[in-house]
Amino acid sequence: MTRPEPAEAASRRPTRQRSALLAVLSDTDGFRSAQELHALLRARGDGVGLATVYRTLQALTDQGQVDVVRNADGEATYRRCSTAHHHHLMCRSCGRTVELADSPVERWAARVADQHGFADVQHQLEVFGTCAACAAAREPQR
């Protein structure tokens, strides 16, 4: 079996492709798909194989270094986020993202799950909207 264990930590070899990917991730504020990141890397000069992009993204996700959110088309998009638990408020137009902590969902989810006899509770919450900049840019068209 060559499959990494779930509880496995981050003892991976540092490579050019990994730092390149992390660099691109740090350069953008929003969530990007693996395909987009692959293209950005290529455009930047330090190309990285598509398979490696997916593989590395998977590893970073397991380590909690990046968050994953599926967009409307069902594609997985990634973003480097703080490691603490939080949710996102993102612009569906430009991708601008704000991390949100301390939501009332934390308590509520636990309580309601308990009321229904559910254990090992988890939740996923995302908030979408149009940021001020994008709203302003659209206004003139009226």
Partner DNA sequence: AACGTTCATGAGAATCATTCTCGCACAGTT
Partner DNA sequence: AACTGTGCGAGAATGATTCTCATGAACGTT
Q: List contacts with DNA (CB under 7 A).
A: 12-18, 33-35, 47-52, 54-56, 58, 74-76
Question: What gap in Å lies between CA 79 and CA 129, rounded to an integer?
Answer: 18
Residue 48 contact among a second copy, Zn ion, DNA, none, beta carbon within 5 to 8 Å by kind: DNA
Q: Rule CB under 8 A: is residue 76 a binding residue for a second copy?
A: yes
Q: Which of 121, 137, 140, 142 binds a second copy (CB under 8 A)?
A: 121
Q: Residue 81 annotated as binding? A: no
Closest of 96, 112, 129, 100 to residue 30, by C-alpha = 96
123 appears as a binding residue in the annotation: yes
Alpha carbon of residue 125 to chain centroid: 13
Check residue 61 for interaction with Zn ion (CB under 5 A): no
Can you name the residues that pair with 78 across neighbouring β-strands? 32, 68
Site membership for a second copy, residue 47 (CB under 8 A): no
Q: Per rule CB under 8 A, is residue 113 in the interface with a second copy? A: yes
Cα separation, 47 vs 34, in Å, equals 13
Strands 66-70 and 32-33, by their bridges, are unpaired
CA–chain centroid gap for 78, Å, is 3
Q: CB-wise, 73 or 102, nearer to DNA?
A: 73
Contact 96, 30 (CB under 8 A): yes
Binding residue numbers for Zn(2+) = 91, 94, 131, 134
- Site residues (vs a second copy, CB under 8 A): 70, 74, 76, 89, 91, 98, 100, 103-105, 108-109, 112-113, 116-132, 135
